[in-house]
């Protein structure tokens, strides 16, 4: 393939735009759970730990299902995976609106919504990794910034809907939006550029020859390396705090005397600032390397958690949201490039899925339940914030121990 062929319009940019939109809808709706949290407590009288457990169950199963979604994407491509998952996602939210018992919340949100969300990370980011060699960090950052835009827009819309129509009708509306704006864009996804006889952006090798896509580890080979488990544990140290903040920062702020509207705006600020974190740190990683960019972002998250221990005023909570949002945004976009850098693309979706399941999903699932239990026992989130700030320091140490791996050739 000649350079002139690659100089024409590159379809990979369509894949980026479509993936951004899907991320926007899926994660914006998902992170609205914190907005629905208080209405659920008021109507049913459940404890915070019991209610948080529905979100945690969903995150655990999202990770488990995500491994299979990544494996299927490696074999068949993202279009069919995202389409099927979009059906489950819309159905799940509509069913949540009919909840009358705790077990129903666990089934509808914990299981069915999780099936839908299983295509929200692995298939999309794996596809971007296959379309771009150069600018991989930047393009992945643009795609994942859809999460931040979704967090900025959809929770605020959900808060307005709940205020005017109640939480049940609001979940029906959210479900319909998620169904339509996931399935339609998914039809424009393509597995990799070679299907259209193109090269990935920045790839100068013949598609039929010694392609970069054949370099990498199988999951079994990756799991035998020290770097794999370091990456899993460093991710876990971060996501324990992430899950807690996304579920509990709104009720925490309300407990400090902040209005529900101002508390919801904290989530919006995190989402807005995370957009800058994703794009800027994604492009920065292309220049200074993924590991250094990761260390910068994790340091910011850790600092923000220590700050949260003393934050009592609304402006202090907004400052927390700015620092945390930027660091969180950068970290979330760097996991896929880190996997590609250390383990290649041969089984990227599968390996990425396992890292997210054990590291990302584990933290996101366990963190909110621990924090909810601590609040139920002590009446405060302070101990939880201390624990997760210390784990941030541990995550920095683990990340500093990562070393490059030598990619293997397959096929």
**pLDDT at residue 210, rounded to an integer:** 41
Closest by alpha carbon to 231, among 290, 172, 147?
290
Is residue 409 in a domain?
Answer: no
Q: Residue 354: give the domain boundaries.
A: 11-191+217-400
Is residue 406 in a domain?
Answer: no
Return averaged pLDDT per consecutive 10 residues of the chain, 411 residues in all.
53 91 92 84 84 83 86 86 94 93 92 92 86 82 84 85 89 92 92 67 53 67 90 90 87 89 85 86 88 94 94 92 93 86 81 82 82 90 93 93 69 45
Is residue 33 in a domain?
Answer: yes
Is residue 4 in a domain?
Answer: no
CA distance 396 to 231: 11
CA distance 141 to 138: 5
The partner residues of 132 in beta bridges, in order of sequence, read: 201
Contacts of 13 (CB under 8 A, 6+ apart): none
**pLDDT at residue 340, rounded to an integer:** 84
For 80: left if phi > 0, alpha if psi spans -120 to 50, otherwise beta; the answer is alpha
HEC-encoded secondary structure of 81-123:
HHHHHHHHHHHHHHHHCCCCCHHHHHHHHHHHHHHHHCCCCHH
**pLDDT at residue 96, rounded to an integer:** 92
**pLDDT at residue 206, rounded to an integer:** 45
| pTM (2 d.p.) | 0.74
| Domain count of the fold of the chain | 1
Burial classification of residue 2, based on how many CB atoms lie within 10 Å of its CB (0-12 exposed, 13-18 middle, 19 or more buried): exposed
Closest by alpha carbon to 334, among 132, 137, 131, 118?
137
CATH code for position 374 = 1.20.1250.20
Is residue 393 in a domain?
Answer: yes
User: 349 φ, ψ to 5°?
Assistant: -60, -40
Is residue 199 in a domain?
Answer: no
Is residue 262 in a domain?
Answer: yes
Is residue 2 in a domain?
Answer: no
């Amino acid at each position: 393939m000649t350079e002139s062929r690659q100089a024409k319009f590159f379809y990979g940019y369509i894949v980026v735009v479509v993936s951004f939109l899907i991320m926007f809808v899926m994660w914006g709706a998902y992170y609205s759970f914190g907005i629905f949290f208080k209405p659920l407590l008021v109507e049913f009288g459940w404890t915070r730990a019991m209610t948080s457990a529905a979100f945690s169950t969903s995150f655990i199963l999202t990770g488990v299902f995500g491994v299979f979604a990544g494996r299927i994407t490696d074999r068949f491509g993202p279009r069919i995976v995202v389409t099927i998952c979009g059906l489950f996602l819309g159905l799940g939210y509509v069913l949540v609106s009919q909840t009358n018992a705790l077990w129903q919340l666990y089934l509808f949100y914990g299981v069915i919504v999780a099936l839908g969300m299983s295509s929200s990370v692995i298939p999309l980011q794996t596809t971007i990794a296959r379309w771009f060699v150069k600018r991989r960090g930047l393009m992945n950052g643009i795609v994942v910034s859809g999460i931040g835009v979704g967090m900025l827009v959809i929770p605020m819309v959900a808060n307005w809907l709940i205020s005017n129509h109640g939480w049940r009708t609001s979940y029906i509306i959210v479900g319909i939006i998620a169904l339509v704006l996931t399935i339609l864009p998914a039809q424009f996804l393509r597995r990799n550029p070679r299907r259209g006889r193109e090269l990935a952006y920045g790839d100068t090798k013949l598609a039929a020859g010694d392609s970069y896509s054949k370099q990498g580890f199988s999951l079994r080979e990756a799991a035998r390396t020290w770097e794999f488990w370091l990456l899993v544990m460093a991710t876990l140290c971060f996501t324990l705090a992430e899950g807690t903040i996304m579920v509990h920062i709104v009720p925490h702020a309300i407990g400090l005397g902040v209005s529900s509207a101002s508390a919801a705006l904290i989530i919006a600020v995190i989402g807005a600032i995370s957009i800058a974190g994703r794009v800027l740190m994604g492009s920065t990683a292309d220049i200074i390397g993924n590991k250094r960019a990761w260390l910068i972002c994790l340091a910011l998250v850790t600092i923000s958690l220590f700050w949260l221990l003393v934050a009592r005023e609304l402006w202090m909570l907004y400052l927390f949201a700015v620092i945390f949002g930027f660091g969180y945004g950068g970290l979330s976009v760097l996991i896929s490039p880190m996997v590609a850098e250390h383990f290649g693309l041969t089984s990227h979706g599968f390996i990425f899925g396992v890292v997210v399941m054990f590291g990302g999903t584990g933290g996101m699932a366990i963190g909110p339940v621990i924090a909810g239990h601590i609040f139920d026992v002590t009446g405060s989130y302070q101990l939880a914030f201390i624990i997760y700030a210390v784990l941030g320091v541990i995550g920095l140490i683990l990340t500093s121990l990562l070393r490059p791996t030598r990619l293997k050739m397959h096929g």
